[in-house]
Amino acid sequence: MLSVAAVDRKARVLRNDNARAVGRAGDYFFELAADDMIPMPEGATLMRLPGRVPVGIAEATGEFVSAGPGEALAAMLPQGYTRTYLPAYTRKAGAPALPLFGYAAVALDGDQLMVAAVRTDHRDTWDPRHYNLDSLPQAVRRRLERSPNNRVLAQLAKCSLEYGCFTAQNIFYRRWEGGIPVSPACNAACLGCISKQPAECCPSPQERISFVPTRDEVVEIAVEHLENAEDAIISFGQGCEGEPTLQADLIVEAVRLTRAATRRGTVNINTNAGDTDAIRRVCEAGVDSLRVSLVSARPDRYHAYHRPAGYELRDVVESIKVAKALGAFVSINYLCYPGFSDTEPEVDALADFIDETGIDMLQLRNLNIDPDVFSDTMLKPFSREEPRGMVAAIYHLQDCFPNLIIGNFSKALDGYNWSGPPAGCSFRNPIPPWASDVNVNERERRPTGGVVAGASAPALPFQATRIVPSTSPLNTTKRFPLRAALE
C-alpha cells in the first residue's frame, strides 16, 4: 500500500503505516493508487508545508483522518513532469501562506518516495543537472567584465545566482533558451504572479526588474546569444518582469536590429497577448514564436485568475490569430492545476479555444500557487465540478487534435519565420512520445466519501509513524551569493 508521508522538525521523512496515502484534486481528497504515482525523479525537491497536517485514510476504519505527527510534505517537480495530484492536508489556524511553487502529492511505497506525476516531455535541456553548476559564478563574472555597464546582464546575473533562474543562466552558459527582461510593468495582476504580489499574500520567489533597458542593452545580448548558442532562443517576458508588450516599441526596434545582424535562432515572446496591435507589430518586426499564458479558456475563470487591465480573453484569441497569420509559431503556456484543468467543462472550453486559434503547441506548466489561495478564488466562487484526472484530460486533447504538440518545452525553430512543419515532421506525433510512461486507460477519479479538502479529521495515534531514510533532503536547490560573480 501507499502510506502517508510527513516530515518532522529535523527534516526527516516520516511514514505512517496506519494511514493510506491521499492526494487532492481541486477541493476533493482521493486515495492515491499505484498507477497514480512514479518514483520521485532526479531533480525533484521536497518541501515542508508549515502549519499543515497530512491527511490519510485510516486502515482500521477506511475514513479520512489527520495523519500526523509531523507536517505535510510535498514535492517540487523538475520541468518535463506534470503533476496529477496536490498534497492533501488540513490547515491549522494561523498557518502561513505558502510561497509560489508547484506542490505535488508525495507518498511512500515502503521506503521509496513516490510523487503524483507523469512525464510529459523527454528533452533534457531543462534537467536541473545542467544548471547551478560550480562554473556558473565564473561564467557570470567573465561576461559582466566584458559588458560592465549593461544593466540587463546585471539583472540576469542576479536572477542566475540568487534565484537560480534557468533561462537567465543559459545566457551565461551560451546555450538554448535565454531570457531578456524588458518590462517593469504589467497590464494584468495574475493570482500566481511570481514577480509581484500584494502585501500579506503569497511570497513571490523573484523580484521584478525596476528599469526599462535601452535598445543597445537588449541587442547586445540578443545578437551574441543567437549567434553563438546551440538551439538558440531569446525570449522576452521572463519571471522577473511584467508584460513585455508594454515595451513593444523597444522590442520592435531591438528585434529589427538583431535580425539585421543575424538570421540565426528563434526570437520568442512570453506574453498575455492582450494587446493585439502590439502583437502584430512585434511579429512584423521579427518575433517568430509566441508563448501565451492561459489558466482557463472560460472567460469568467480567465478573468478571475489573470485579472487583466484593459483587455479581455477575446483580445487574446484575436492576438493569436494575428500572430498565426503572420507566420509565428504559437504555444499556449497552459497553467495546469489538478481538479480544475481536468474538469469536463474546462477541457471542452480549451478544445474550443485550440480549434478556433489553431495553436501549434500546448505547453503544460504546473501552476505555482498555494492550493488554498487558488481554491478561494478559482473554485469556491463557482459551481463545483468533478475532476476526471490530468492524464485523461491530456489524452482527450491529443485525441481531439492529433497534430497538436503537447509537452513542456519551447522549440527552437529552423529559419527566421515559422511556416509550419514539413509532412511527417518528427516532433508532431499523433501519439504522445511519453505514452509508454503512463496507463492510457487511467480510470476516471471521482470523489469518494464526499470528503472536501480542508475538512477537519480525527488524528491517528503517534506510534503509527516511523522515520524513513531519505536521500532527498528538503530544499536542495543550490544558490550562489551575488558577490561570488564579482569577486
pLDDT for 97-116, tens place per residue? Answer: 999 999 999 999 999 999 99
Give the pLDDT of residue 404. Answer: 95
The cell numbers describing 437, all together, are 510512461
Q: Same domain, yes or no, for 14 and 81?
A: yes
Would you place residue 196 in the very low, low, confident or very high pLDDT band (cuts 50, 70, 90)? low
DSSP H helix total and E strand total for the chain: 11, 22
Check whether residue 23 and residue 106 sit in a common domain. yes
330 and 264, same domain (yes or no) = yes
Asked if residue 137 has pLDDT above 80, the reply is yes
% of the chain residues with pLDDT over 70? 82
Three-state DSSP at 371 gives helix
Residue 431 C-alpha cell reads as: 501519439
Is 272 found in the same domain as 248? yes
Q: Look at residue 350 and tell me if it is in a domain.
A: no
User: Averaged over 308-333, what is the pLDDT?
Assistant: 97
Do 424 and 458 lie in a common domain?
no
Q: Say what the alpha-carbon torsion angle 350, 354, 355, 357 is, to the nearest 10 degrees.
A: 130
Return the pLDDT at 423.
32
Give the other-Cβ count within 10 Å of 35's Cβ: 12
Judge whether 266 lies within some domain: yes
**Do 110 and 173 share a structural domain?**
no
Question: C-alpha 63: how far from its chain's center?
Answer: 33
The verdict on 243 and 310 lying in the same domain is yes
Q: Is residue 387 part of a domain?
A: no
Give the integer Cα–Cα distance in Å for 263 and 359.
Answer: 24
Residue 45 lies in a domain: yes
Tell me what the mean pLDDT of segment 249-277 comes to.
97
State percent of the chain over pLDDT 90: 71
In-domain check, residue 92: yes
- Look at residue 169 and tell me if it is in a domain: yes
Q: Is the pLDDT of residue 280 over 90?
A: yes
Asked whether the beta carbons of 290 and 269 are under 8 A apart, the reply is yes
CATH of the domain at 179: 3.20.20
Which has more confidence, 177 or 459?
Answer: 177
Question: Is residue 480 in some structural domain?
Answer: no
Average pLDDT of the residues of the chain: 85
The structural domain count of the chain equals 2
> At residue 435, does pLDDT exceed 70?
no
Q: Same domain, yes or no, for 155 and 48?
A: no
Cell of 464: 503509527
Question: Coil, helix or strand for 230?
Answer: strand
Would you state the cell numbers that stand for residue 134, as one nine-digit string? Answer: 560550480
Same domain, 26 and 152: no
Q: What per-residue confidence (pLDDT) applies to 222?
A: 98
Q: pLDDT band for 188, please (50, 70, 90 cuts).
A: confident
Residue 261 contacts by C-beta under 8 Å, 6 or more apart in sequence?
219, 223, 227
Range of the domain at 66: 3-118+445-468
Residues 6+ apart with CB under 8 A from 17: 3, 464, 465, 466
Same domain? 175 vs 265: yes
Is the pLDDT confidence value at 446 over 70?
A: no
pLDDT: which is higher, 414 or 167:
167
- Residues 399 and 440: beta-carbon distance below 8 Å: no
**91/237 same-domain check:** no
CA 256, 258, 260, 263 torsion: positive or negative? Answer: negative
**What values do phi and psi take at 321, rounded to 5?**
-60, -40
Provide the 10 A C-beta neighbour count for residue 1.
16
Looking at the structure, do residues 317 and 407 belong to the same domain, yes or no?
yes
Tens of pLDDT along 36-65?
A: 999 999 989 999 999 999 999 999 999 999
In a domain, 355, yes or no: no
Report d(CA 8, CA 14) in Å as an integer. 7
Contact 267/289 with Cβ under 8 angstroms? yes
pLDDT band for position 274 (cuts 50, 70, 90): very high
